[in-house]
Amino acid sequence: MKKILVTGANGQLGSELRELSVHYSQFEWVFADRSVLDLSDLESISNTLNVIQPHIIINCAAYTAVDKAEAETELADVLNHQAVAVMAQWSASHACRLIHISTDYVFDGNSSTALDEEAPTAPINVYGQTKLSGEQACLRENTEAIIIRTSWVYSRFGNNFVKTMSRLMQERDQLSVVNDQIGSPTYAADLAQAIMTIITHTHWQSGIYHFSNEGKISWYEFALAIQEIGGFDCLVNGIPSSDYPTPAKRPHYSLLDKSKIATTFGVVVPGYRESLKTCIELIRINSCN
């Protein structure tokens, strides 16, 4: 029986993979949080992997505090870059397959068309730069690795835009949300399913792939959809990014082209509204329990 190791097990994607794992009992699953596999301790990573001996690694762990990364550059680089290099080295030398999760933040946001995997990278913040360095190290150390770039991830687990908006829309009369950053959200459960579609596919095709839900929207339009689907009585105002300054710059346009992952592995890419409805319903059920 092949063993799948999921890093970042308590994050949004790791939690969704745990939910999904019951449908893939042909695998032995190991869900590793920081207490099991501490990616900030570079010396210990290979030793831990030697003990676990996975056949497949799904690396969901990352430093994702985009604004804090501007000050915690070194820690962000260790988690998003150097630790990935170590995992890639280990997986290459142990015939272990590696799926590494990356981000739309590797782009500068100056495009006006959906970004495919060949689009030039040019990060505009520390988080994006460390994730790009991680991608480069991953493919340098393990040419058989698969990298999946994703964007605007949300889930019923963890902290995310959908849960924050749902809470604020019940607490406040009105909200302001930026309307000039364009992309598409990703329901982590859909990304988890895409990963399992790849793992169970007849052919392993290494390289970089893009995955998010279908749809081209701004954060403001995403908030309006949350308001409508959630049935919240709150006025949502669209504002320019200049009215909401943050320590880290955000790309203005990061819509991902998903045609490669769909064509190569037959991955189904759901529309963002249907996935958002599913997630909001699950959040509601969880809050009632």
Give pLDDT tens digits for 35-57: 999 999 999 999 999 999 999 99
Q: Which helix (H) or strand (E) holds 165?
A: helix 161-171
First to last CA, the chain: 36
Does the pLDDT at position 288 exceed 80?
A: no
The predicted structure's pLDDT at residue 123:
97
Query: What band does 128 get if pLDDT is binned at 50, 70 and 90?
Result: very high
The 10 Å Cβ neighbour count of residue 112 is 8
| Structure-token pair, residue 98 | 């590696």
Please provide the average confidence, as pLDDT, over all residues in the chain.
Answer: 97
The alpha-helical segments, DSSP class H, found in 112-268 are 126-141, 161-171, 188-199, 219-230, 259-265
The 10 Å Cβ neighbour count of residue 206 is 14
Known catalytic residues are 127
Q: Are 147 and 100 in contact (CB under 8 A)?
A: yes
Q: CA angle, 57 as apex, 201 and 118 as ends, to 5°?
A: 65
Dihedrals phi, psi of 135, to nearest 5 degrees = -60, -50
Give pLDDT tens digits for 181-230: 999 999 999 999 999 999 999 999 999 999 999 999 999 999 999 999 99
3-160+186-213+254-270 belongs to which homologous superfamily?
A: NAD(P)-binding Rossmann-like Domain (3.40.50.720)
Query: Domain residue spans in the chain?
Result: 3-160+186-213+254-270
